[in-house]
Amino acid sequence: MPLLSLQTPQSFDFDQCLFFLDRGYDECLYQLSGRSVLRTIECDGVLVPFSIIEKKGNLVIEVDEGITDEVQNLVLDYVKEWFDLERDLAPFYSLLNKSDQLKPLAENYHGLRLIGIPSLFEALCWSVLGQQINLTFAFKLKRRLVEAYGESIVFKGHKLYHFPSPKALVNLDEEYLKTQQFSRGKVKYIKNVAESFLKDGLSKSTLLKIPEFGERQMLLTNIKGIGVWSANYALMKTLHQPEAIPFGDTGLTQSLFNFGLIPDRKDEAAIIKFFKEMRGWEAYTVFYLWRSLAG
């Protein structure tokens, strides 16, 4: 099988990223096998599987025989975006190290990248699935949705699923999904997201053409079922938008409280004040605070 290679940047720790990615059976869109990650992406209607492993300061990516140079470049671009490889984290660590409370984040998780969700559609649907339920149950719902409506391919002995397309989810079977513990609201909101892509022309590229964060946020919150938390989560994970703080996230507020950064979990003014001090690195700060909850 052909091997592609990406040189890893400074302040990159593959093991830190693997720890974040390791969700066991819960995660259905990629699989870990030892120190390698396997997943598939879609290119022109065809699933393209690949695996990633780190060797001597490079991410080595193994792909199937016969794929074109163009598709190989798409895989490379996807991995760069997924692991946020082109970002210099030195200014972020410098900012964390100015605070005695935040220094442990830089020390304990050095090299962790903001692992993204390059697909805007997937990120929005995932934000809907995660609304008002615990993370473990959200992952179960995602697996049920993906296995029912997504496509799959076998690669190196692993069955790899790809997240369903808007076309696949726009006409969800509500009665079937009720038997899979989906609420009526979640089904309706996922349909709304799918319709916004199919009928209203929403796409990642259209979002990127909008210069202002507030306008991007408004475009997403115009979708019924997508509130500020969901919009900011998608902007954070898909575009790595620095300002995209998922305000109201219980894990975030708990972590801020744990580090003594806010006096009370309900103190919204203190939360806003804190993030003003992290300007330009708000999303990364959120991501590292989330990571701290796992120990």
Of these residues, 44, 88, 200, 249, which one is catalytic? Answer: 249
Give the DSSP H/E element, type plus range, for residue 250. Answer: helix 250-258
* C-beta separation of 17 from 83 below 8 A: yes
3-class DSSP assignment, residue 30: strand
Give the DSSP H/E element, type plus range, for residue 32. Answer: strand 30-33
Is 69 among the catalytic positions?
no
Residue 223: CB partners within 8 Å, gap ≥ 6? Answer: 124, 189, 192, 193, 196, 202
* C-beta separation of 170 from 198 below 8 A: yes
Token digits for 73?
């470049």
Give the DSSP H/E element, type plus range, for residue 42. Answer: strand 36-43
Catalytic residues, which ones? 249
